[in-house]
Amino acid sequence: MNYKDKIRKLLALSKSSNENEAKAALLKARALMAEHKITEQEVFSECRSTIVRKTTKYSCSNRRDPWMSILANVIASHYCCRSYGAVEAGAQTRTIGFIGLPDDFDLCVMVFEYAVDSVRSAFKRFKKEFSMLSTKELRKIENGYAFGFIAGLNEAFKKQDEEYQDYALVLVTPREVEKEIEGMKVKQHNLNGRISTAKYNEGVEDGRNFRPDRRISPTV
Protein backbone atom coordinates (compact mmCIF):
# COMPACT_ATOMS: atom_id res chain seq x y z
CA MET A 1 0.00 0.00 0.00
CA ASN A 2 1.51 3.37 -1.02
CA TYR A 3 1.36 6.36 1.27
CA LYS A 4 -1.50 8.02 -0.67
CA ASP A 5 -3.69 4.94 -0.21
CA LYS A 6 -2.82 4.89 3.48
CA ILE A 7 -3.72 8.58 3.88
CA ARG A 8 -7.02 8.06 2.05
CA LYS A 9 -7.94 5.18 4.36
CA LEU A 10 -6.95 7.19 7.44
CA LEU A 11 -9.11 10.11 6.30
CA ALA A 12 -11.98 7.68 5.82
CA LEU A 13 -11.49 6.36 9.36
CA SER A 14 -11.43 9.94 10.64
CA LYS A 15 -15.17 10.05 9.92
CA SER A 16 -15.84 7.33 12.47
CA SER A 17 -18.24 8.29 15.26
CA ASN A 18 -15.75 6.82 17.75
CA GLU A 19 -14.13 10.05 18.93
CA ASN A 20 -10.77 8.59 19.96
CA GLU A 21 -10.38 6.51 16.80
CA ALA A 22 -11.44 9.40 14.56
CA LYS A 23 -8.99 11.87 16.07
CA ALA A 24 -6.12 9.37 16.06
CA ALA A 25 -6.72 8.56 12.38
CA LEU A 26 -6.95 12.24 11.47
CA LEU A 27 -3.74 13.18 13.28
CA LYS A 28 -1.89 10.27 11.67
CA ALA A 29 -3.17 11.30 8.22
CA ARG A 30 -2.05 14.88 8.73
CA ALA A 31 1.38 13.70 9.91
CA LEU A 32 1.82 11.61 6.75
CA MET A 33 0.70 14.52 4.55
CA ALA A 34 3.27 16.76 6.24
CA GLU A 35 5.99 14.12 5.91
CA HIS A 36 5.39 13.71 2.18
CA LYS A 37 4.60 17.40 1.63
CA ILE A 38 1.26 16.60 0.02
CA THR A 39 -2.16 18.23 0.31
CA GLU A 40 -5.51 16.48 0.70
CA GLN A 41 -6.42 17.54 -2.84
CA GLU A 42 -3.31 15.81 -4.18
CA VAL A 43 -4.09 12.70 -2.14
CA PHE A 44 -7.41 12.28 -3.92
CA SER A 45 -6.35 13.61 -7.34
CA GLU A 46 -5.80 10.11 -8.74
CA CYS A 47 -9.31 8.93 -7.94
CA ARG A 48 -11.32 12.13 -8.46
CA SER A 49 -12.50 10.96 -11.87
CA THR A 50 -13.86 7.71 -10.43
CA ILE A 51 -17.32 8.30 -9.05
CA VAL A 52 -19.23 5.30 -7.74
CA ARG A 53 -23.00 5.34 -8.21
CA LYS A 54 -24.66 2.17 -7.04
CA THR A 55 -27.85 0.98 -5.37
CA THR A 56 -27.93 -1.10 -2.18
CA LYS A 57 -30.03 -4.14 -1.31
CA TYR A 58 -32.47 -1.95 0.64
CA SER A 59 -35.72 -0.50 -0.65
CA CYS A 60 -38.57 1.50 0.88
CA SER A 61 -41.71 3.47 0.07
CA ASN A 62 -43.82 6.16 1.70
CA ARG A 63 -45.78 3.39 3.44
CA ARG A 64 -43.07 0.81 4.12
CA ASP A 65 -39.98 1.92 6.04
CA PRO A 66 -40.40 5.63 5.17
CA TRP A 67 -37.56 6.44 7.56
CA MET A 68 -34.96 4.61 5.49
CA SER A 69 -34.41 7.28 2.83
CA ILE A 70 -33.95 9.91 5.54
CA LEU A 71 -31.43 7.72 7.36
CA ALA A 72 -29.54 7.29 4.08
CA ASN A 73 -29.44 11.04 3.56
CA VAL A 74 -28.13 11.74 7.08
CA ILE A 75 -25.37 9.14 6.81
CA ALA A 76 -24.42 10.10 3.26
CA SER A 77 -24.04 13.76 4.22
CA HIS A 78 -21.63 12.85 7.01
CA TYR A 79 -19.53 10.55 4.84
CA CYS A 80 -19.05 12.97 1.92
CA CYS A 81 -21.55 11.17 -0.31
CA ARG A 82 -25.09 11.72 -1.54
CA SER A 83 -28.04 9.33 -1.37
CA TYR A 84 -30.76 8.81 -3.93
CA GLY A 85 -33.76 6.58 -4.59
CA ALA A 86 -33.92 4.52 -7.78
CA VAL A 87 -37.52 4.09 -8.90
CA GLU A 88 -38.77 1.99 -11.78
CA ALA A 89 -41.56 3.43 -13.93
CA GLY A 90 -44.93 3.00 -12.25
CA ALA A 91 -43.46 1.62 -9.01
CA GLN A 92 -43.97 3.10 -5.54
CA THR A 93 -40.93 1.39 -4.06
CA ARG A 94 -37.53 3.04 -4.40
CA THR A 95 -34.16 1.38 -3.92
CA ILE A 96 -31.64 3.26 -1.81
CA GLY A 97 -28.43 4.17 -3.58
CA PHE A 98 -25.33 6.27 -2.90
CA ILE A 99 -22.92 8.35 -4.95
CA GLY A 100 -19.37 9.12 -3.85
CA LEU A 101 -15.67 8.59 -4.31
CA PRO A 102 -14.65 4.93 -3.88
CA ASP A 103 -13.36 5.05 -0.29
CA ASP A 104 -16.18 7.34 0.86
CA PHE A 105 -18.78 5.19 -0.89
CA ASP A 106 -17.59 1.93 0.68
CA LEU A 107 -17.54 3.41 4.17
CA CYS A 108 -20.92 5.09 3.70
CA VAL A 109 -22.63 1.88 2.57
CA MET A 110 -21.05 -0.08 5.42
CA VAL A 111 -22.33 2.37 8.03
CA PHE A 112 -25.77 2.58 6.41
CA GLU A 113 -26.20 -1.20 6.38
CA TYR A 114 -25.13 -1.42 10.01
CA ALA A 115 -27.57 1.34 10.98
CA VAL A 116 -30.46 -0.38 9.16
CA ASP A 117 -29.59 -3.68 10.86
CA SER A 118 -29.55 -1.92 14.24
CA VAL A 119 -32.98 -0.35 13.69
CA ARG A 120 -34.49 -3.59 12.43
CA SER A 121 -33.05 -5.44 15.41
CA ALA A 122 -35.14 -3.15 17.62
CA PHE A 123 -38.16 -3.86 15.40
CA LYS A 124 -37.85 -7.59 16.13
CA ARG A 125 -37.92 -6.82 19.84
CA PHE A 126 -41.00 -4.64 19.43
CA LYS A 127 -42.89 -7.42 17.63
CA LYS A 128 -42.48 -9.60 20.72
CA GLU A 129 -43.10 -6.78 23.18
CA PHE A 130 -46.24 -5.52 21.41
CA SER A 131 -47.54 -8.76 19.88
CA MET A 132 -51.09 -7.82 20.86
CA LEU A 133 -51.13 -4.73 18.65
CA SER A 134 -52.36 -4.53 15.07
CA THR A 135 -49.88 -4.25 12.21
CA LYS A 136 -50.85 -0.61 11.76
CA GLU A 137 -50.21 0.28 15.40
CA LEU A 138 -46.96 -1.68 15.49
CA ARG A 139 -45.76 0.18 12.41
CA LYS A 140 -46.36 3.49 14.16
CA ILE A 141 -44.18 2.33 17.06
CA GLU A 142 -41.45 1.15 14.68
CA ASN A 143 -41.48 4.41 12.74
CA GLY A 144 -41.41 6.41 15.96
CA TYR A 145 -38.28 4.56 17.09
CA ALA A 146 -36.64 4.83 13.66
CA PHE A 147 -37.18 8.58 13.34
CA GLY A 148 -35.91 9.01 16.89
CA PHE A 149 -32.82 6.98 16.01
CA ILE A 150 -32.17 9.23 13.01
CA ALA A 151 -32.58 12.37 15.13
CA GLY A 152 -30.12 11.05 17.71
CA LEU A 153 -27.62 9.98 15.06
CA ASN A 154 -27.82 13.34 13.30
CA GLU A 155 -27.23 15.07 16.65
CA ALA A 156 -24.13 12.93 17.24
CA PHE A 157 -22.81 13.69 13.76
CA LYS A 158 -23.27 17.44 14.22
CA LYS A 159 -21.43 17.30 17.53
CA GLN A 160 -18.55 15.49 15.87
CA ASP A 161 -18.45 18.01 13.00
CA GLU A 162 -18.13 20.84 15.53
CA GLU A 163 -15.18 19.07 17.16
CA TYR A 164 -13.44 18.69 13.79
CA GLN A 165 -13.26 22.45 13.38
CA ASP A 166 -10.38 22.41 15.86
CA TYR A 167 -8.42 20.06 13.60
CA ALA A 168 -8.39 22.30 10.52
CA LEU A 169 -10.04 19.68 8.36
CA VAL A 170 -13.42 20.30 6.83
CA LEU A 171 -15.05 17.16 5.47
CA VAL A 172 -17.16 18.19 2.49
CA THR A 173 -18.82 16.38 -0.36
CA PRO A 174 -16.46 16.45 -3.38
CA ARG A 175 -17.59 18.64 -6.28
CA GLU A 176 -17.46 15.64 -8.63
CA VAL A 177 -20.14 13.94 -6.54
CA GLU A 178 -22.28 17.09 -6.53
CA LYS A 179 -22.08 17.26 -10.33
CA GLU A 180 -23.18 13.64 -10.61
CA ILE A 181 -26.22 14.34 -8.45
CA GLU A 182 -27.08 17.47 -10.43
CA GLY A 183 -27.37 15.32 -13.53
CA MET A 184 -30.00 13.09 -11.94
CA LYS A 185 -33.65 13.75 -11.22
CA VAL A 186 -33.94 14.10 -7.46
CA LYS A 187 -37.51 13.68 -6.29
CA GLN A 188 -38.53 14.72 -2.81
CA HIS A 189 -40.92 12.41 -0.97
CA ASN A 190 -43.26 13.65 1.72
CA LEU A 191 -44.00 11.40 4.66
CA ASN A 192 -47.70 10.71 4.93
CA GLY A 193 -49.27 9.18 8.03
CA ARG A 194 -48.77 9.44 11.74
CA ILE A 195 -46.13 7.92 13.98
CA SER A 196 -46.22 6.98 17.63
CA THR A 197 -43.91 8.73 20.09
CA ALA A 198 -43.93 5.72 22.42
CA LYS A 199 -40.42 4.65 21.40
CA TYR A 200 -39.15 7.90 19.92
CA ASN A 201 -36.99 8.84 22.92
CA GLU A 202 -35.50 5.36 23.05
CA GLY A 203 -34.59 5.73 19.39
CA VAL A 204 -32.95 9.11 20.02
CA GLU A 205 -30.76 7.64 22.74
CA ASP A 206 -29.77 4.65 20.61
CA GLY A 207 -28.97 6.95 17.70
CA ARG A 208 -26.71 9.08 19.87
CA ASN A 209 -24.84 5.98 21.02
CA PHE A 210 -24.62 4.30 17.61
CA ARG A 211 -21.03 3.14 17.00
CA PRO A 212 -20.37 2.25 13.34
CA ASP A 213 -16.71 1.58 14.17
CA ARG A 214 -17.82 -1.81 15.48
CA ARG A 215 -18.02 -2.88 11.83
CA ILE A 216 -15.16 -0.77 10.52
CA SER A 217 -11.71 -2.33 10.70
CA PRO A 218 -9.24 0.02 12.45
CA THR A 219 -6.30 -1.41 10.50
CA VAL A 220 -4.90 0.52 7.53
Structural domain contains residue 74: yes
- CA torsion sign for 50, 114, 151, 20 is negative
Cβ-based neighbours of 126, under 8 Å, separated by 6 or more: 138, 141, 142, 145, 199
Digit-coded pLDDT (tens) for 133-153? 999 899 989 999 999 999 998
Structural domain contains residue 139: yes
Provide the pLDDT for residue 186. Answer: 43
Secondary structure percentages of the chain, helix, strand, coil, to 5: 55, 10, 35
CA-wise closest residue to 81 among 150, 179, 173: 173
Digit-coded pLDDT (tens) for 10-33? 766 666 555 566 666 666 766 676
What residues make up the domain containing 177? Answer: 51-214
Answer yes or no: are the C-beta atoms of 135 and 165 closer than 8 Å: no
Mean pLDDT taken over the chain? 76
Q: Considering only residues 79 and 47, tell me which one the structure prediction assigns the higher pLDDT.
A: 79
Structural domain contains residue 5: no
Structural domain contains residue 105: yes
CA distances from 58 to 15, 77, 95, 126 (A): 23, 18, 6, 21
Provide the pLDDT for residue 206. Answer: 92
Provide the pLDDT for residue 23. Answer: 62
Question: Quick check: 191 pLDDT over 60?
Answer: no
Structural domain contains residue 210: yes
Structural domain contains residue 219: no
- Packing angle, helices 68-78 and 102-129, rounded to 10: 140
Structural domain contains residue 62: yes
Count of domains for the chain: 1
Digit-coded pLDDT (tens) for 107-128? 889 889 999 999 999 999 999 9
Structural domain contains residue 68: yes
Full-prediction pTM beyond 0.75? no
Q: What angle do CA 34, 167, 27 make, to 5 degrees?
A: 50
Question: Quick check: 44 pLDDT over 80?
Answer: no
Provide the pLDDT for residue 126. Answer: 94
- Distance, CA of 111 to chain centre: 6
Provide the pLDDT for residue 84. Answer: 92
Of 41-45, 59-63, 134-138, give the lowest mean pLDDT range.
Answer: 41-45
